[in-house]
Amino acid sequence: MSDKCNSENIGAESDVCTQTKVDVEVPKESVDFKVIYNKNKYDVNFLLDGTVGQLKQHLQDIIGVPQSMQKVMIKGLAKDERTLRELGVIKGAKVMVVGSKLDDVLAVSTPSKQDLQDEKAAAASKEPFCKQKQHRKVLDKGVPDDVMPGIKNSKDSLPPYPLSGMLNKSGGKVRLTFKMEQDQVWIGTKERTDKIPMNTIKGVVSEPIEGHEEYHIMGIQLGPTEASRYWVYWVPAQYVDAIKDAILGKWQYF
């Protein structure tokens, strides 16, 4: 009777006999390769069966570019769901990454110490944006020649083309392109185009420009504090609500 694993013993005892198999974890295979970003090279070791999306998350702290703002190039633009193995990444391979650091985007609109002091004083006195010293420097140049027509007391949907002819904090021309299918807003200047994921934007504020109420000053908060607002001047009033809806969703009004 010592052999309990025979044809007559079915049930609990046979289960004991069949549960002798031990799961052996197979070591996960990784690969060493180089990541090239902004002319700098980084040695990276990552799982071959890891996805591009997971790689972006890994690279976020290494290259200082938010995961959502990275583009990984492996024989062309690599989709987030593809694995390194599928894309043919081998030892010593070179992987290109492009994308703007949040600090670079904010640098275009970074306020000076004096601007911050002026803004703090204005906030304390509830002074309208258009009367604040930091904004007067741009507004005093007048309405841009190629600004889009503004319509007071009107609410229109976003047009199928970029909003252009506006100005940024430095007085340079800026355009806003809303890529709803990608959940991005593109902030374009003569020098660059920054593609900002809308879900990273913390807030949007706006006020009409006194004497030109058909246009607004708008602050798009790209970072954690109000100091990280990207200011846009001469935004056509009829598109202000549509811009806020697109970036923040209609829930912001309730």
- Please tell me the predicted confidence (pLDDT) of residue 223: 83
Q: Measured between alpha carbons, how far is 236 from 239 in angstroms, rounded to an integer? A: 6
Show the DSSP H helices in 80-177 as ranges.
102-107, 113-125, 133-139
- Please tell me the predicted confidence (pLDDT) of residue 94: 93
pTM score, whole prediction:
0.57
Q: Measured between alpha carbons, how far is 163 from 82 in angstroms, rounded to an integer? A: 35
Residues 78, 135 within the same domain? no
Q: Check which CATH number belongs to the domain holding 62 and give it.
A: 3.10.20.90
- Identify the residue with better confidence: 107 or 165: 165
Q: Measured between alpha carbons, how far is 130 from 207 in angstroms, rounded to an integer? A: 8
Q: Measured between alpha carbons, how far is 26 from 28 in angstroms, rounded to an integer? A: 6
- Please tell me the predicted confidence (pLDDT) of residue 163: 96
State the first-to-last Cα distance of the chain, in angstroms, to the nearest integer.
76
Helix (H) or strand (E) holding 167: strand 163-168
Residues 183, 127 within the same domain? yes
Provide the Cα torsion 189, 194, 200, 203; round to 10°.
0
Helix (H) or strand (E) holding 10: none
Helix (H) or strand (E) holding 57: helix 52-63
Residues 78, 198 within the same domain? no
Number of structural domains, the chain?
A: 2
pLDDT higher than 90, residue 236: yes
Identify whether 154 is part of a domain: yes
pLDDT-derived band at 253, boundaries 50, 70, 90: very low
Q: Measured between alpha carbons, how far is 88 from 103 in angstroms, rounded to an integer? A: 33
pLDDT higher than 60, residue 83: yes
Residues 164, 238 within the same domain? yes
For the beta carbon of residue 9, count every other beta carbon within 10 angstroms. Answer: 14
- Please tell me the predicted confidence (pLDDT) of residue 251: 46
Closest CA relative to residue 83, chosen from 53, 44, 43: 53
Domain boundaries, position 176 = 104-253
Q: What is the mean pLDDT of the chain?
A: 83
Identify whether 210 is part of a domain: yes
Q: Check which CATH number belongs to the domain holding 208 and give it.
A: 2.30.29.30
pLDDT tens, residue by residue, 175-198: 999 998 888 999 999 888 888 988
Q: Is 102 helix (H, G, I), strand (E, B) or coil?
A: helix
- Give the distance from CA 99 to its chain's centroid: 10
- Please tell me the predicted confidence (pLDDT) of residue 12: 45
Question: Which one of 70, 99, 128 terminates a domain?
Answer: 99
Residues 59, 185 within the same domain? no
pLDDT tens, residue by residue, 110-132: 555 555 555 555 555 578 999 99
Q: Which of 23-37, 48-62, 116-130 has the lowest mean pLDDT?
A: 116-130
For the beta carbon of residue 226, count every other beta carbon within 10 angstroms. Answer: 16
